[in-house]
Amino acid sequence: MNELTISIDVKDSKPLYEQIYEYIKGEIQGGSISFHEKLPSTRALARHLQISRSTVDAAYEQLMSEGYIEAVPCRGYFVSGIDELYQFTETVSEPVKIMQEKKDRREDYRIDFSPNGIDLDSFPYNTWRKLTRNTLQYDNKELFQPGAAEGEPEFRTAICKYLHQARGVRCRPEQIIVGAGNDYLMMLLSRIIGKDHVIAMENPTYRHAYGTFTGLSYEVVTVNMDKNGILVKELEKTNADIAYVMPSHQYPLGIVMPIKRRLELLRWAAAGSEKYIIEDDYDSEFRYKGKPIPALQGFDSNDRVIYTGTFSKSIAPAIRVSYMVLPEKLLEKYRENSEFYTSTVSRIDQTLINSFLSEGYFERHLNKMRAIYKNKHDVLLQEMKKLSTVCTVSGENAGVHILVSFHNGLQEREIIERAASRKIKVYGLSEYYIKSSPGESATIIMGYANLKEDEIREAVSELAEVWRQGRAGYCSRYDQ
């Protein structure tokens, strides 16, 4: 498809990007644009509609964030293959939902070892209700007005204090930008630094971040890893000037980057005038061995680290509040264009979470969750000893998931299928490689945050039955 017949109205109060977004979304929902169909490039569509390319970029970014389209590197934008989708058709009386005639291929799993889950049973509902009442008990009209684009000053001050005390981050509240999720913050960062950059990512890595960067039209290169994290010598051989890393707990491998490798990475960034490191510190609160690992940003003396964090893991995914600490040089660029930005987190939510932080509830909640996750972590490791003759566990010192590598001849697909036969969901590590995974032992990921301890015991007991039996005729070095 080279063009879309979109009728846009420059006099309409609705922004142009929203008109484009709604048109394409409606065509997908109605079936006029079919699954896996290629969309025109942002450049081609902008030229066809005679509008700014950034307007089309914004529409495509919104469609990608909602899962309607996806960016395929070096190929372009395609309609996502959605298993189940509502189509909307107009009748004389009202819109009628028509189910897309596609079979839902998702299995009905009894137990799901999702690495993205959290324990919502332990969410502090009573505290949240109390703080919500306190926030709204007065007729504070200001809370219903747009606030500062970068976030409320009191909230950013509270985040600054927390980051300094818990993560060793050195910054001023003015350097902190609050946004509704890391997707938004990366989009905002792209507006600050521009698109003329090459981003290096670890391989394997967080695929959602990879999709975000490619969707923002960045060239992305991958760099291999060893037991200490990203290989800086390989990074130096690329043309990348931005490195996206997770040094405190790499996802999905669980590697904690040692100080020597961190300093190598910082030296790489300091060697160029426009080189930066994006530090994603997504779940540093949960560590079960030794003291918390300080953030890479705290070691940075050249102001080259862009630090990002989120409350999604520590409080709840639906909170959708993340934050970014900008180096001073980038903060100046942000201020030069700040009149174009508006806050994406309501002042009510910011006030609520600020109270949660400043009044000590957040610290107590984290201590509680560390204990709960530590108990689940210990139960899972203890149960996995039943499978010590067929697999080994790694990445168990932090976070809320482990890696399990098999040495009994089973391939990743067979491991996942055998688990599925008991209606248990596990996840293959190969999904997280941008380039093909190395030819090593099959490895899966098992998250445990959203499971009860009895569910973990039950699941591993059943998995042991189906995983112990290796491939016929296969003899591992453990059997010799």
Per-residue pLDDT of the chain (480 residues; tens, 9 = 90+): 445 778 777 677 788 888 888 888 888 877 788 878 888 988 888 888 888 888 888 888 888 877 788 888 778 888 886 544 544 434 333 333 333 333 334 458 899 999 988 898 899 999 999 999 988 887 777 888 878 889 999 999 999 999 999 999 999 999 999 999 899 999 999 999 998 999 999 999 998 999 999 999 999 999 999 999 999 999 999 999 999 999 998 999 988 899 999 999 999 999 988 899 999 998 877 877 666 778 999 999 999 999 999 998 888 888 889 999 999 999 999 988 766 778 899 999 999 999 999 999 999 999 999 999 999 999 999 999 999 999 999 988 888 999 999 998 899 999 999 999 999 999 999 989 987 666 556 999 999 999 999 999 999 999 999 998 765 444 444 443
Alpha carbons 404 and 455: distance in angstroms, whole number: 18
Residue where the block lists tokens 């981003």: 199
Pick from 68, 42, 54, 44: nearest CA to 16: 54
The CATH code of the domain at 125-362 is: 3.40.640.10
Say yes or no: do domains 16-99 and 125-362 share a fold: no
51-60 burial string, b = 16+ CB within 10 Å, else e?
Answer: beeebbbbbb
Alpha carbons 364 and 122: distance in angstroms, whole number: 12
CA 187 to chain centre: 14
Alpha carbons 34 and 55: distance in angstroms, whole number: 23
Give the residue extent of every domain in the chain. 16-99, 111-120+364-467, 125-362
Q: In the structure encoding, which two tokens stand for residue 31, read together?
A: 């079936």
Alpha carbons 403 and 258: distance in angstroms, whole number: 20
Alpha carbons 23 and 17: distance in angstroms, whole number: 10
The CATH code of the domain at 16-99 is: 1.10.10.10
pTM of the entire structure?
A: 0.74
Distances (CA, A) of 118 to 113, 121, 227, 314, 318: 11, 9, 27, 8, 11
First to last CA, the chain: 58
Domain 111-120+364-467 architecture: Alpha-Beta Complex (3.90)
Distances (CA, A) of 211 to 41, 73, 436: 16, 9, 16
